[in-house]
Amino acid sequence: MPLDPQAAAFLARANDANPPDISEVPISETRAGLQAAKFMSGVREDVGQVTHTFIPGPTADLPIRIFTPKGSGPFNGLVYFHGGGWCVFFDELYEPQLRSLVNSTNSVVISVNYQKAPEHKFPIPFDDCYATLEWVFQNSEALNINQNKIGIAGDSAGGNLASAVALKVRDQGLRTLAYQLLIYPCNDRKFDYPSMLSNAVGYGLTSKGMEWLWEQYLNGDDDDQNPYAIPHVAKSYRNLPPTIIITAEYDVLHDDGAAYAQKLIVDNVPTIYRDYPGQIHGFFSYSEDIDEGKNLRKEFAQDINGILSAG
């Protein structure tokens, strides 16, 4: 399918100034620019309450935000891990999307500003995310969350973190996740997928940029066989929770996500795979400019609600 016209217009505006690749700019400059970014802005739906607090993490206190629905509960729970290549984004950029999830899934949504690479390489961001989920389970009663209806979600690098957290939850055998939502996850450190080549430049995230981001996150090749860093190398996916995987046609990560969905299906994990023709990496976050981002939110909310009602 041709590139979606709204996605094409978004890319044209983004490329007007001929910006350098993320790999060519100091991370400090990228982060500073994002502080004033409006490209991920959007309507902030009303919710019952928003709480900013800190929780203890393995190596530092972690800032989290808790979005609580209106009403009396108990509510569903959703722990969200934001994207940004493990390096550059922060959870405040996702407020419109998170508020939407609160209302569309009747969930208390908890987002964590995990510590960022390259200052804090693997496993620190992963450990922060796992610790946040464990904190939510331990405090589910105070949060007014039904402990049997807690899921996790993330986009891009956050999808990697969610995938890894789900694997560890399965391996530990102490908790049960209701579902995982993986939005164009980066779960494999391979650069020869067809989508890595055909979408290498011109569609936002580049294959060069993705390779550089992996280098910031990992400690060299030694991490390549660790499934909590590279979920694609896990020996088994059996007993993972019901999974929703999203991919975009014009995304370097398209084939990575599609291959991960297939691995879960082969191992009998209940899996909903949604591929969005004509779309680009990040369209979930660009829903003010790309209508399909709004449609995506509606569709995976329906998927989540279906899973929760069946559980």
Known catalytic membership, residue 61: no
Residues 265, 211, 157: CA angle, nearest 5 degrees: 50
Query: How far apart (Å, rounded) are the C-alpha atoms in residues 290 and 135?
Result: 35
**Cβ pair 245, 257 in contact under 8 A:** yes
Q: Which of 223, 251, 256, 303 is catalytic?
A: 251
Phi, psi of 241, rounded to the nearest 5 degrees? -75, 165
Known catalytic membership, residue 120: no
Give the DSSP letter string of 223-242.
GGG-TTT-GGG-S--TTPPP
Strand order in the sheet with 271-280: 49-56, 61-68, 107-112, 75-81, 145-155, 180-183, 243-250, 271-280
Known catalytic membership, residue 111: no
Query: How far apart (Å, rounded) are the C-alpha atoms in residues 105 and 149?
Result: 11
Q: Which of 111, 156, 195, 207 is catalytic?
A: 156
Give the DSSP letter string of 81-128.
E--STTTS--GGGGHHHHHHHHHHHTEEEEEE----TTTS-TTHHHHH
Q: Which of 107, 256, 281, 285 is catalytic?
A: 281
* Active-site residue set: 156, 251, 281
